Amino acid sequence: NAGVTQTPKFQVLKTGQSMTLQCAQDMNHNSMYWYRQDPGMGLRLIYYSASEGTTDKGEVPNGYNVSRLNKREFSLRLESAAPSQTSVYFCASSELDRASYEQYFGPGTRLTVT
């Protein structure tokens, strides 16, 4: 049981390049989330998916797109990377387990845009 996995762990992009961050969970959770973490800003929600087939914007969605490929996988795409998107990206998932909605996080992807 791996929990939440993310690929890649590290990535360096040039301005204008595109890439997709992958996330998968094996806990059969319905809800999945993408956050970014920046010094002095804390963790901020980019997009989330309450269930398979639905996605919603979070606090900082501009410059990103998401796809809920199936119940297990939720990807985050940067179409044209900008230096402001240099950050650590975390994927998380949650489920109604004894009414807790406890969120479980992946190890993160460290992205640098030059």
Partner 1 sequence: KQEVTQIPAALSVPEGENLVLNCSFTDSAIYNLQWFRQDPGKGLTSLLLIQSSQREQTSGRLNASLDKSSGRSTLYIAASQPGDSATYLCAVLYNQGGKLIFGQGTELSVKP
For binding to partner 1 (CB under 8 A), which residues are involved? 30-31, 33, 40-45, 48, 50, 58-59, 90, 92, 94, 96, 99-108, 110
Q: How far is the CB of 48 from partner 1 (least distance, A)?
A: 6
Nearer Cβ to partner 1, position 54 or 70? 54
Least distance in Å: CB of 16 to partner 1? 28
**For residue 75, how far is the Cα from the chain centroid?**
7
Which residue number, 44 or 80, has a Cβ lying nearer to partner 1? 44
The least CB distance from residue 108 to partner 1, in Å, is 5
Say if strands 109-113 and 10-13 run parallel, antiparallel, or are unpaired. parallel
Residue 49 pairs in a beta bridge with: 32
Asked if 23 and 73 count as a contact pair (C-beta separation under 8 A), the reply is yes
In degrees, rounded to 5, the angle at the alpha carbon of residue 93 between the alpha carbons of residues 90 and 99 is 140
Task: Choose between 59 and 79: whose C-beta lies nearer to partner 1.
Answer: 59
* Tokens 């973490």, residue located: 37
d(CA 107, CA 89): 9
Q: Which is nearer to partner 1, 58 or 63 (CB)?
A: 58
